[in-house]
Structure 1
Amino acid sequence: MRFIFAFLAMGLLTIASCEDDGGDSVISLNEGAVPNILKVTGSNTFIDLIALESGEETTINFTVDKGQGNIASMDVVLFYKTGTTVYRTVLESNLTTFPKAYSLTQFDIIEAFTELNSAADFQVGDVLSVSADITLTNGSKLNILNNDATPNFGQDIANSAVYKVFQNYIVSCPSDLGGTYDFVSINIGEPGGFVVPGPETGTVTFTDNGGGVYAISDGSFGGWEALYGPPGASGVTLIDICNTLSFGGSDDYGDTYTISNVTTSGSNLSFSWSNTYGEYGSTTLTRTDGTDWPDLTN
């Protein structure tokens, strides 16, 4: 059962985290320096593809501040990911006055990246990431994201509720999938071969994080409770990019999720889900607010 193994693994990770490997390949809170990068409340949480295609100006607003540690200065860094290609540029070097607010239009983003030439280069699903490279008062340097925009920090930083070390802006369309829905899940299985035919019923909540990203109250849609007992899977997100769905984030044990066979019919949204641990199931969500789901796919 995954919960026993996960408990043992957590103990091993705790022991490992107390050791010093002599390097700085992965930043942890023990090194004590992180930025705090926040989207401005009420501002755009994504790069609006509809506005880009119609020639309208679209703006993102964020602030860069010290999160924790003896920080002397920061370089504010932008990453632009399109497909599997990642571009990197420094928006501002040697920032020493905090906090600082930034407002970027699509024209500012194009100017920042030599690889972008016009609004036509923004493609649905592209991601702009905002982060920082830190110089400490002792002269040490820490990069929050690697050159390919992958995290260079541990789970303690990733799970912090106090600060955010980077922000993502997805090139997407307006999305409105937040709410609480009834679910029915069937044919729930785990890698050992045990299957719960169901139906398992309950409710699940999609909390709007902005930019078409929604925190899911239970990413297993009752599956974990059916297989092992409560609680459900936290940490999984639903991503809506112009009515195309995918899962993001990872569950309590670091497993990622895949969505497939997405269909909509009036107030019902049906799909299959699976994760990298080998659990799976099929779920139907029903709206009770009197509206229908948009035409969603995967």
Structure 2
Amino acid sequence: MLVPSCENDGGDSKIDIQYGAVINIQKSSSSDTYINLVALQNGGDINLGFTIDKAVGDITSMDVVGLYIKSDGTTIFKGKFSTGIKTFPYTLNINKQKIYDAFTQLNSSDDFETGDQLTISAELTLKDGTVLKLINDDGSNNFSSNIASSSTYKVFQAYNVSCPSELGGTYEFTTTNVKAPTGESAPGPLTGTVTFEDQGGGIYNISDASFGGWTGLYGSGNIARNVQLKDICNKISYFGVDQYDEVFTFSNLVVNGNKISFHWENDYGEYGDTTLKRTDGSNWPALTL
């Protein structure tokens, strides 16, 4: 695995190649996938379990690092859960006391808020003595996009502070008033089904973030992939970007029994109005934006 860095002198560029390393951190299937705020407020505990193994590179030791990112996105606390790990794979379970011990800023359930996030990663010491941070102290990634999107390994795991969420399922959509900035339009109604695939912690993969809108605009097979839905104690939002690095947003959300309606758009300029209907006999919870 090569980690390139470039220094541009204004003309010719000098490129230094540094040998790096990558870990593979995977959540335990028997542990929590998010930090349950309701449980903490009721005096309960949490169990964040994961295993870290070497993936690429000559790693001699590892520190397990946590970044606690407050809901404002700018306040970040750094702590360490384990240091000097030399035996792999390494398994760790984190409860609330270990979080209190790692972060001087977190001392009780009152210090947790919805929308906060705990990111677990590592600082690696390589054979030549180089110390490699996989996540920078400001929360930015210190690795390339191909590593971030790898299906082979994960270099970090994120735990959202959230409430129990049950939005997974397949729903009927009706989408109208779809337009693109290049002039295409699809008045609709466009109908079909969309699936919210539960990833844990209030995060769901959306099978088509345009809810049939792109199919109406550009023809069969065109869907908005990779975008996720985030549910933080019934407050929902799009999360991440699509295959073209476009950011989606919701507005005008209305909840009415087994139906929700909303306006969606992205920063490319495409937009539409969608209604989702549950067919499982249940109503939607009191969702907000």
Q: Which residue pairs with 2:6 in the alignment?
A: 21
Q: For the aligned residues, what is the CA RMSD?
A: 2.0
* Aligned counterpart in structure 2 of residue 257 of structure 1, from 248, 255, 258: 248
Q: Which residue pairs with 1:294 in the alignment?
A: 285
Are 1:278 and 2:269 an aligned pair?
yes
What is the correspondence of 1:44-193 to structure 2 with a 5 Å cutoff?
Answer: 44-82=32-70, 83=72, 84-193=74-183
User: Displacement of 1:98 after TM fit?
Assistant: 0.9
SS of aligned partner of 1:232: coil
Whole-Å Cα distance in 2 between the matches of residues 142 and 161 of structure 1? Answer: 22
Structure having the larger proportion of residues in strand = 2
Q: Aligned residues: percent identity?
A: 49
Are 1:36 and 2:36 an aligned pair?
no
- Deviation string 1:220-248 (CA, Å, 9 cap, x unpaired) is 11122122222311110001111010111
Count, aligned residues: 276
Q: Which amino acid aligns with 1:147?
A: D
Are 1:219 and 2:219 an aligned pair?
no
SS of aligned partner of 2:6: coil
- Residues 1:287 and 1:144: Cα distance change in structure 2 (over 3 Å): same
User: Displacement of 1:186 after TM fit?
Assistant: 1.1
TM-score, length basis structure 1: 0.87
User: Displacement of 1:176 after TM fit?
Assistant: 0.7
Whole-Å Cα distance in 2 between the matches of residues 184 and 59 of structure 1? Answer: 40
Gaps of 5+ in 2: 9-17
Comparing 50-59 with 135-144, which one deviates more in the overlay?
A: 135-144
Comparing 212-221 with 186-195, which one deviates more in the overlay?
A: 186-195
Gaps of 5+ in 1: 1-16, 24-29
Whole-Å Cα distance in 2 between the matches of residues 186 and 286 of structure 1? Answer: 15
- Residues 1:238 and 1:49: Cα distance change in structure 2 (over 3 Å): same
Q: Which residue pairs with 2:15 in the alignment?
A: none
Structure having the larger proportion of residues in helix = 1
- Residues 1:63 and 1:18: Cα distance change in structure 2 (over 3 Å): closer
Whole-Å Cα distance in 1 between the matches of residues 101 and 43 of structure 2? Answer: 17
* Aligned counterpart in structure 2 of residue 238 of structure 1, from 229, 237, 243: 229
User: Displacement of 1:136 after TM fit?
Assistant: 2.3
- Deviation string 1:172-223 (CA, Å, 9 cap, x unpaired) is 1001111111111111122224332111111111110000100011111112
Whole-Å Cα distance in 1 between the matches of residues 267 and 87 of structure 2? Answer: 43
- Residues 1:31 and 1:280: Cα distance change in structure 2 (over 3 Å): farther
TM-score, length basis structure 2: 0.90
